[in-house]
Amino acid sequence: MKPQSPQSTNVSILRLVLQKLSLALLLLLAFGLILLGKTDTIFLPKLRALMVDATAPVLEFIAPPAKNVAGVFENVRDLAELREKNDRLVAENTRLMRWRAAALDLEVENQRLKGLLHFVPPPEARFISAKVIADTGGSFARSLIVLAGKKDGVRKGQSVVASEGLVGTVVDVGERASRVILLTDINSNIPVLVEINPNSPVLPETSRVKAILSGDNSNMPQLIFLHEPVTIRPGDRLVTSGDARVFEQGIPVGVVASVNEQTGIRVDLYVEQGRIDIVRIVDFGQTGILPDEDHD
């Protein structure tokens, strides 16, 4: 056996010493940890108290700005929520306003349809209700376009009435729409009866005198061609005469508004020409002097 060198002998001795010391160090470390765990309950609270005392002035200084910043962020959030809620309310209000407008339109239309019931055609007459879709009145013509035509049974020459009285006459008929000439049109000449006021010095009792109501594109047509020399006064009532078989007799037309030598006898119509939305087209079965559109 070869003898060990002095160097290897020293290494062996050092290793043996370290092994014995490591055990002692481990025991010492374990004991130290036990002591540290016991002393933690004593030193850590004091350490925390010292830290609280040290940071309290800093926290006191930065607390108000931090609170203000937090308040700003909260206000921004509230403002965003309010804006979103306001947008929803605006949208809902707009929707409700549209519904309200639609309801008002339906209510007005319903009232006008009920108003048409005030004029009751005779049993033998046929009629349809039609909506006015355009007012083609101008300086040289006064007429309306109604949403009813041949497919609805409308024919040229039929009477057009509203709840208050006579509106005019159908003059042009399409498949789906028709044109109505108003009483104020320059081409309108309607046979009428003037119900003379019973206070008239000429006729002691209520009497009817035939005349022609002639339009001149003004708001008040003129009464011409009186058949008898009677005194016409404001307030005298006009109805259709039924002559020429154009209109049924007795349809309300208007009242005498003024009697003047220069302007003549002017009539205030029962139907306000600029506010006609729904009309009733009546077929009284009159042949009249107006030819049917099929023979134009």
Kindly report, residue by residue over 157-180, the tens digit of the pLDDT. Answer: 899 999 889 999 999 999 999 999
Residue 14 has pLDDT above 50, yes or no: yes
- Please tell me whether residues 94 and 141 are part of one structural domain: no
Residue at token pair 């058949």? 227
Which tokens sit at 284? 């009284």
- Average pLDDT score over residue span 27-43: 64
Which tokens sit at 280? 């009733």
Domain boundary among 81, 98, 116: 116
The mean pLDDT of the chain is 77
- Please tell me whether residues 93 and 140 are part of one structural domain: no
- Please tell me whether residues 213 and 74 are part of one structural domain: no
- Please tell me whether residues 136 and 76 are part of one structural domain: no
167 — phi, psi (to 5°)?
Answer: -105, -50
Cα–Cα distance, 250 to 240 (Å, whole number): 5
- Please tell me whether residues 178 and 47 are part of one structural domain: no
- Please tell me whether residues 286 and 157 are part of one structural domain: yes
Residue 54 has pLDDT above 80, yes or no: no
Beta strands in 6-125 (DSSP E): none
Q: Is 210 in contact with 227 (CB distance < 8 Å)? A: yes
- Average pLDDT score over residue span 246-273: 90
Identify the weakest region by mean pLDDT among 97-106, 113-122, 179-188, 281-290: 113-122
Could you tell me the CATH number of the domain that includes residue 222? 2.40.10.340
Domain boundary among 116, 150, 165: 116
What is the CA 162 to chain-centroid distance, rounded? 26
Q: What is the predicted pLDDT for the residue at 295?
A: 43
Write down the pTM of the prediction. 0.57
Identify the weakest region by mean pLDDT among 24-28, 147-151, 194-198: 24-28
200 vs 82, more confident:
82
Which tokens sit at 217? 């594109």
Which amino acid is present at 46? K
- Please tell me whether residues 111 and 180 are part of one structural domain: no
Contacting residues for 268 by C-beta, under 8 A, at least 6 apart = 220, 254, 255, 256, 257
- Please tell me whether residues 210 and 103 are part of one structural domain: no
- Please tell me whether residues 86 and 43 are part of one structural domain: yes
1 within a domain of the structure (yes/no): no
Percent of the chain with pLDDT over 90: 29
**CA neighbor of 151 nearest in space, from 169, 177, 130:** 177
Residue 290 has pLDDT above 60, yes or no: no
Which class for 79: exposed (0-12), middle (13-18), buried (19 or more C-beta within 10 A)?
exposed
Identify the weakest region by mean pLDDT among 88-97, 105-114, 205-214: 105-114
Which amino acid is present at 244? A
pLDDT-based confidence at 89, cuts 50/70/90? confident
The SS3 assignment for 120 reads coil
- Average pLDDT score over residue span 73-93: 83
- Average pLDDT score over residue span 47-67: 67
22 within a domain of the structure (yes/no): yes
Cα–Cα distance, 165 to 217 (Å, whole number): 19
Residue 121 has pLDDT above 80, yes or no: no
Q: Is 169 in contact with 188 (CB distance < 8 Å)? A: yes
Residue 237 has pLDDT above 70, yes or no: yes
135 within a domain of the structure (yes/no): yes
Domain boundary among 70, 96, 116: 116
Which amino acid is present at 255? V
User: How many domains are there within the chain?
Assistant: 2
- Please tell me whether residues 142 and 43 are part of one structural domain: no
Q: What is the predicted pLDDT for the residue at 167?
A: 95
**Full domain range(s) for residue 212:** 126-295
- Please tell me whether residues 215 and 252 are part of one structural domain: yes
C-beta atoms surrounding 18 within 10 Å = 11
Residue 154 has pLDDT above 90, yes or no: yes
192 within a domain of the structure (yes/no): yes
- Average pLDDT score over residue span 107-114: 61
- Please tell me whether residues 64 and 148 are part of one structural domain: no
Q: What is the predicted pLDDT for the residue at 171?
A: 93
248 within a domain of the structure (yes/no): yes
61 within a domain of the structure (yes/no): yes
Highest mean pLDDT among 153-167, 220-234, 236-250 belongs to 153-167
Q: What is the predicted pLDDT for the residue at 196?
A: 81
- Average pLDDT score over residue span 152-157: 91
pLDDT-based confidence at 296, cuts 50/70/90? very low
2 within a domain of the structure (yes/no): no
108 within a domain of the structure (yes/no): yes
